[in-house]
Amino acid sequence: MNARLEDTDMSKWEARDAKHLAALLAGDHFGDHPEDNLDKIRAKKKNRADDLCKKMGCTKESIVLEIGSGMGFTSKYVAENVKHLYCSDISTSFLDTARKECAGVKNIDFIKIEHEPATFAFENEFFDMIFADAVFIHLNLYDIYWYFSEFQRLAKKRGKVFINVMNGSKIDPQKLSQMADFYRKDTDSLKRLLCWNSMDAVLTVASTFGFKLESRGKLGGLVQRASVDLLFSKR
């Protein structure tokens, strides 16, 4: 994120045009005009999707939930590797764009998240995999707690959950200053800013709801520095 996002609706992840929507998605990874680099963003997201599917062990029998589908770039490629993908997002702007991006893909449904932390109208143990890429980097520990509570209900036994978080022991002072500046101008934007968390605290929350850490690292792609990719399995 950078200063060009000040005139977007940060509290709702909504944007009035393609430029601001792309800025919300890509932050400052592609300069001041990310809307001119959508093909590059798609390529990054495709690589990310391929790595995610391998990491989670997706198969043509997998039923998958995506939290925060954004513009649908990752979703489109994940859908190629699974039986069915349910894409959810809190932003109407993102969902409308994702539907267009994934037009013609038959095994995708889109769900509007009406409030956070989200709850979903699926039966218990419905999903083989749940993933949220570049989403939990914006969440505080209380949000993470309630999401994992819902993941416990939704995931099948030995089901996989993938998230990434900002590592609280590796804070970039320049990035913190940038986020603090956004916060001072608009305290309602808090849940849309980068949020650093203690890794021990995140792992404790996951364990509380019956999830075991399988791997920790970074897959690469369009991610924040100091973010950590975490793959869990339900006990």
Instruction: Name the domain count of the chain.
Output: 1
Tell me, yes or no, whether 80 lies in a domain.
yes
Tell me, yes or no, whether 14 lies in a domain.
no
CATH label of the domain that carries residue 72: 3.40.50.150
Q: What are the tokens at 149? A: 């509570």
User: Are 208 and 148 in contact, with CB atoms under 8 Å apart?
Assistant: yes
The answer for residues whose C-beta is within 8 angstroms of residue 147's C-beta and 6 or more apart is: 67, 117, 118, 132, 136, 139
Q: For residue 30, what is the DSSP state?
A: T
First to last CA, the chain: 36
Per-residue pLDDT band at 1 (split at 50, 70, 90): very low
Q: Is 185 exposed, middle or buried (CB count within 10 Å of its CB: 0-12, 13-18, 19+)?
A: exposed
47-90 pLDDT, tens per residue? 999 999 999 999 999 999 999 999 999 999 999 999 999 999 99
95-147 pLDDT, tens per residue? 999 999 999 999 999 999 998 889 999 999 999 999 999 999 999 999 999 99
Kindly list the distances between the CA atom of residue 29 and the CA atoms of 37, 104, 210, in Å, as whole numbers in the listed order.
10, 29, 35
> How much is the pTM?
0.88
Q: Is 104 exposed, middle or buried (CB count within 10 Å of its CB: 0-12, 13-18, 19+)?
A: exposed
Tell me, yes or no, whether 141 lies in a domain.
yes
Range of the domain at 217: 43-234
